[in-house]
A and B are shown apart, each in its own frame.
Chain A
Amino acid sequence: MLTYLGRRLILMLPVAFLVSVVVFALARLAPGDPAVILLGEEHDPTAVAALHHELGLDQPLPVQYLVWAGRATRGDLGRSIQTHQPVLQAIGERLPATLELGLAALLWSLLVAIPLGTVAALRRGTPLDYLASGFTVAGVSIPNFFVGVLLILVMGLALRLFPVGGFVPLNQDPLLNLQHLVLPALTLGTAGAAINMRFTRSSMIEVLGQEYIRTALAKGASWLQVVRDHALKNALIPVVTIVAIQVGSIIEGALVTESVFSWPGVGKLAVDGIFNKDYPVIQGIVLCAALSYLTANLLVDVVYAWLDPRISYR
């Protein structure tokens, strides 16, 4: 198991390298000059040229890449062009907010998906199943930003149940923190809930058709026991895969939601970075996101073994 883990960790290196080259190139292929954006209304050619020099943007691209990559291997992702803040520090400051939102969204999606998916599988073909499927289609099809605005207008403005945006740190006021968390978490979790519900349902249907289920029932186990102890545990393996990918994509999914709710997380940092062509910020976040994907995938394989002892590693 340890050798396996070690091998997987080493394999992450070339992937990280490729990601760094691609993101470096993509950020620069996008049109727009960060110095012009930074100076905005007041950009005049001398100021732009001076800023290019200050930022090292007057160097050839390969040189710029090597400088950046060299520092990155030492854990220095550079400083934001816009704010001069070290990128790693900026990401670190925002990570707790993003993780909180991402985990809350995931929790919400699982709370909805697993019971609903199980029930839909058990009551296959009934109106309940159709309702659940309808929820899936809607959840996956309606874009995040629309769900977000809808929730702001209905739950925030019309019913005044929750604040419409902003953030209060958990350690400052836990209750206010949770109140601010509800709408963004619902927004971010809805699409995930729909997908997870779909996976739970189909996987459950498949498992329920297995012979060991029939055997268990024949041995006199109650329907509830069979579902809980035999069917659900096995049905959840594909769900774990998809959930893990969702964990890895917390940052990505939060891009839109954090912007809509002014949630001070990594996603909002990324969106602002992209709009401002803040190369170090874009590169730093994509690199971190890629690493978190890789880590999530690794964890999935470990969790598999726990869920299904027949899976072994060489």
Chain B
Amino acid sequence: MALVLLFVTACGGGTGNGGAPTSEATPKAGGTLTYAIESELRTLDPLASTQLVERTVMYQTYESLVTVDPQLNIKPGLATSWTASSDGTTYTFQLKTGVKFHDGTDFNADAVKFNLDRILKAASSPRKSELANLQSVDTQGASTVVLHLKKPDSTLLAQLVDRAGMMLSPAAVQKLGADLGRNPVGAGSGPFKFVEWKRDDHLTLTKNADYYGKKAYLDQIVYKPITNDDARSAGLKTGEFDQIRLAAGKDVASIKADSNLTWKDLPGLAFGGFELNHSKPPFNDKAKAQAVAEAVDRAQVVKNVFFNVSAVSHGPIPPSSWAYDASEKIYDKADPNKAKSIATGFTFTMKVTNTPDNIQEGTLLKDQLAKAGITMNIQPEEFGQLLTEAEAQNFDAALVGWSGRIDPDGNMYSWFHTDGGNNDGKYSNPQVDKALEDARTTTDQAKRKADYDQAQKLLVEDAAYVFINHPVAAQISTNKVHGYVLYPDGMPRFATVWKS
């Protein structure tokens, strides 16, 4: 959890133009795109990956069984089609033929089994919980693969879009061994090939000239880890970087105003806000949790902390999701008087990550709650410490967000089901549990939406979590960058991008 806090600032409600490629001019092949990211990667092995910035590289070099379009509909990837058995426990995938990995070996059913078995065998991989319902994998010939599930799981396909579904060359994985994470030469099948990675300096990808599909325009992509916000924004303005993944809130206005630069955004998948600990005082008293939710002025936070580059949140489902319900607006406007009538005169401590943005947000919330007679103390902590304490239920409230998942289940089950892995606040409501379980076992989207509507209404009303904002996915580049398609998951797909 909590990744959102690290990149909340790239959020917004500005000039959304997602979906369609952004330029009418004729694409031009060639050139190098320099892309500045806000932190260095840790690994390029999807099995071990935990960071968002790692995915910005993997989405160019690796390909998954299935993918999404900009509206988040599941589309064929390395699998051309799939069928689910009537009881929902067996998925059969037909695979693309003629696909070669960058090391020249063939992509086939054995490769799929090899990659999924890697996840099944791994002890500490974060992928394991993503495919928790996967029992075993069988191959039928060279281009058919069958996934057997322990129980029906309507989130399977969405999980396979990301790292759990990324297919790497078995030959490369075996040859590279422990070096796979740092030097995955030849491991992918995507439109760009990995060349080299000099940590804290640069990471280079080159165009895959033998790509089976539509080839990329760019010759090269160079990733630069630039941790300092000022240096990243300044580098964009001087043209040192063609595109940056993230800008600090304070720099957004000047970037938007610069006629040499492009800013586009659309609602992302994440939610920001704070979790409440329902297992101990004061928030084991539901009225106190509700009073806090009632007193928070979300619009003011979005304006003053996120410089309006974020949407006000009314629940875990972001506006970009098919399960979003625009009519649900519980706790829409702050109402200190109503909050007072529910509960007042109590004190609690909010743990926040010790970054300027988070402390600023905490300070503003403290002010807002004071108007309802609620005293909030701020306790800044290091990110890792905050995570550890949240997991141990050692908190009253914690400003911890969620980076979001393609399937609505990913924004709800682990956070708000009684047994959810991220349910640090020990929120529990049998009706919510049931709705979330039902939504997992049916593939009927209309039924699932009804389940999520019901769960969201209940958990928001209960103040299971105090939702504040939905960050955006943004394109922040110079005007030389064309053809960039924005996806709500915030991942770049540079194959369509070209430079003038």
Contact = CB atoms under 8 A, between A and B. Distances in A.
A50 B228 contact: no
B402 A262 contact: no
B126 A47 contact: yes
Contacts of B1: 41, 43
B2 interface: yes
Contact of B231 (A32, A82, A152, A268): A152
**What class of interface size applies to chain A in its complex with B?**
35 or more
B234 A156 contact: yes
Contacts of A41: 1-3, 50, 402-403
A165 B226 CA distance: 7
A194 B130 CA distance: 56
Given A41-B1, A85-B182, A164 B388 contact: no
A260 B226 CA distance: 8
A70 B402 CA distance: 42
A265 B200 CA distance: 8
Contacts of B388: 31-33, 36
Interface string B214-252: 000000000011111011101101101000000000000
Contacts of A51: 124
Contacts of A269: 200
B43 interface: yes
B382 A166 contact: no
B126 A39 contact: yes
B400 to A, nearest CB: 10
A39 B2 CA distance: 11
Nearest to B50: A40
B50 A42 contact: yes
A54 B124 contact: yes
Given A36-B384, A54-B123, A165-B226, A153 B234 contact: yes
A37 B237 contact: no
Interface string A36-69: 1111111111111011011000000000000000
A93 interface: yes
Contacts of A163: 235, 238, 240
A268 B3 CA distance: 21
Most buried by A among B129, B181, B387: B387
Contact of B387 (A36, A46, A272): A36
Does more than half of chain A's interface fall in helix, strand or loop, or is it mixed? helix
A166 B238 CA distance: 14
Given A43-B387, A261-B228, A276-B384, A157 B199 contact: no
A277 to B, nearest CB: 6
A57 B238 CA distance: 46
B124 A42 contact: no
A41 B404 CA distance: 10
A32 B382 contact: yes
Contacts of A32: 382-385, 387-388
Nearest to B180: A84
5 contacts: A32-B384, A47-B123, A83-B182, A152-B234, A264-B198
Which 9 pairs between the two chains have the least Cβ-Cβ distance?
Answer: A32-B384, A42-B126, A264-B200, A50-B123, A50-B124, A37-B384, A165-B231, A51-B124, A31-B385
Interface of B: 1-3, 40, 42-43, 50-51, 123-126, 128-130, 178, 181-182, 198-202, 224-228, 230-232, 234-235, 237-238, 240, 381-385, 387-388, 391, 402-403, 421
Given A37-B383, A156-B231, 12 more contacts: A32-B388, A40-B2, A44-B126, A46-B128, A53-B123, A83-B182, A93-B199, A152-B228, A156-B238, A165-B240, A262-B224, A262-B231
